Structure 1
Amino acid sequence: MIDLPLDQTAERVLDEVTGSDRSVLVEHLWTRLRTEPTGMVAELVSRIDLPTSPTSIDRTVLLERAGREAELYGDVTVRCEYLPLGWLRALSDTDTGRGLATAREKFQLLRADWALAQYERLTPPPSTGDSDRPVVVLVAGVPGTGKSTVAERLGRVVNAPVFSMDWQLGAVVGFGVLRPDNRSPMAELMMTSAVARQLSLGMSAIIDATGHTRAQRIQWRSITERMGGRFVGVECVCSDEKAQRSRLEARSRGIPCWPDTVSWEHVQHMKKLWEPWEESHLLLDSAANSPEENLRRVLDLVEGAGQ
């Protein structure tokens, strides 16, 4: 393990809550972190369930555990955000420390929110008129509904790049960076980065992703419109579960380093996670319409998006 140094803010905070015996008073540490204006630690502490027992921890032990968390996330210093994670890691063998996995997930979501906010502040390119505005099409749906088929056909017709979440994730599998706590936030951020870059060049893009949360869809719409583009939402469904399951079992997508398909249990799980799409969008049923008909309907909407 690399011995990572404390950053200045974390060192100051720890000095304020360390007793004469070099132990850190846990309750005082959480109270202090809740008022820290820098970084995202105050929000993190407010979101996670931090045990206050035992009431203290040896400073060296806390720093060693926090350093492991910082190293896990590829950081070069131990910032305040790693102190509560280090505390939970120190308690990971006890009942009170079983919230580490949940805390990591919430930390990753916070990091993603912070990064996504940077994209919201991007400067849009100069406007060249409504007819030349770029279009971002989100083709969303659970696996087996035909969304990739629609996205890929649309990309060929309108000559726009198709950014697939599975292709993005497959590219980083070999580096060992994917974990349950960072997979979704990392995928969303990579997709956002790719689309934002296209928009900054005044060019269109297509997103091929599950898009199961309302916040995710709103985020992509917001960035598109902020960058002067037009957003088109497409929700793919399949009203014939037998056909949908058959597609999943037969498909072989050929994505490097990524599974060819997913289980039916995974599809059922994603259906439960799907949040209603209340904003205006196009609904396509791959069981009721042919791929050609679905493509035509999307093209009609894309071509009329600025009207």
Structure 2
Amino acid sequence: MLVVISGLPGVGKTTVADIVGARLGAVRLSIDPVEEALLATGFPRGWKTGVAAYEAVGVIAELNLRAGRTVVVDAVNDSEPARETWRRAAVSAGSTLCWVVLTMSDTAGHASRLDGRHRGFSHIPEPTWTEVAGRTMEPWRDRHRAIDVSGSSEDVAAEVERYVVEFRSDA
């Protein structure tokens, strides 16, 4: 099974994906470290490098799915082309695809999460609240669960796990 945790920067995708991945014994994959590595090797910052990072992680996800592993990915996935990466990986590996979209209704809290955030990247700048607030998510056409991250990361992860179990039983 491929579990893709999506949402705008700063909602806690990586933290929740780490918890869910550990609890499921899953392979954990993330876009940002791959994009950071590409930029560190001289790729230009921009859309093409971001797409390359998605595609590279998509291939790694597919290989792990083919090996029978559960994969948890965290990525913004704000557009249909980004989401298509995961659809292709799941279909190619004969796997199910479970979408989770993390949201944060507390805009002040969301803004404060970004203020002073440093994830240790040298080539990927941290987004500002203005940049994040100006982003849009294309409407979702796939079945998904939207989860507000107002609770603790542990509570959000537990809700994601419950959805994954529900999704598996429906698939």
Scaled by the length of structure 2, the TM-score of the pair is: 0.89
Q: 1:281 aligns with which of 121, 141, 144?
A: 144
- 1:244-259 alignment, distance < 5 Å: 244-255=110-121, 257-259=122-124
More strand by share: 2
Q: CA deviation at 1:147?
A: 1.3
1:15-94 residue pairs with structure 2 within 5 A? none
CA distance in 1, matches of 2:159, 2:93: 25
SS at structure 2 position matched to 1:162? strand
Residue 69 of structure 1 is matched in structure 2 by none
4+ residue segments displaced more than 2 Å: 178-181, 257-261, 268-271, 303-306
Give the Cα separation in 1 of the matches to 2:132 and 2:111. 9
Deviations 1:261-297 (A, max 9, x none): 22122212323xx10113211111112x322221111
- Superposition deviation, residue 181 in structure 1: 4.6
* Percent identity for Structure 1 against Structure 2: 27
CA distance 1:220–1:179, shift in 2 (3 Å): same
CA distance in structure 1 between the aligned counterparts of 2:77 and 2:85, rounded to whole angstroms: 11
Amino acid at match of 2:147: L
Structure 2 stretches lacking a partner, 5+ long: none
Q: Gaps (5+ residues) in structure 1?
A: 1-134
Say which SS state the counterpart of residue 261 (structure 1) adopts.
coil
Aligned equivalent of 1:230, options 79, 90, 96: 96
Structure with more relative contact order (C-alpha pairs < 8 Å, separation 6 or more): 2
2:19 matches 1:153 = yes
1:149/1:291 contact within 8 Å kept: yes
Match of 2:4 among 113, 135, 138: 138
| 1:204-257 CA distance string (max 9 Å, x none) | 1111101001232244124313312121100011101110010111322224x3
Structure 1 match to 2:129: 264
Q: TM-score, normalised by structure 1?
A: 0.51
Alignment match of 2:153 (pick from 291, 294, 300): 291
Count of matched residue positions in the alignment of Structure 1 and Structure 2: 169
* Counterparts in 2 of 1:252 and 1:226: CA distance versus 1, 3 Å: same
Q: Residue type of the partner of 1:279?
A: D
Give the secondary structure class of the aligned counterpart of 1:211: coil
CA RMSD of aligned residues (A): 1.8
1:167 and 1:265, CA in 2 relative to 1: closer, same or farther beyond 3 A? same
Q: Give the greater-gyration-radius structure (CA).
A: 1
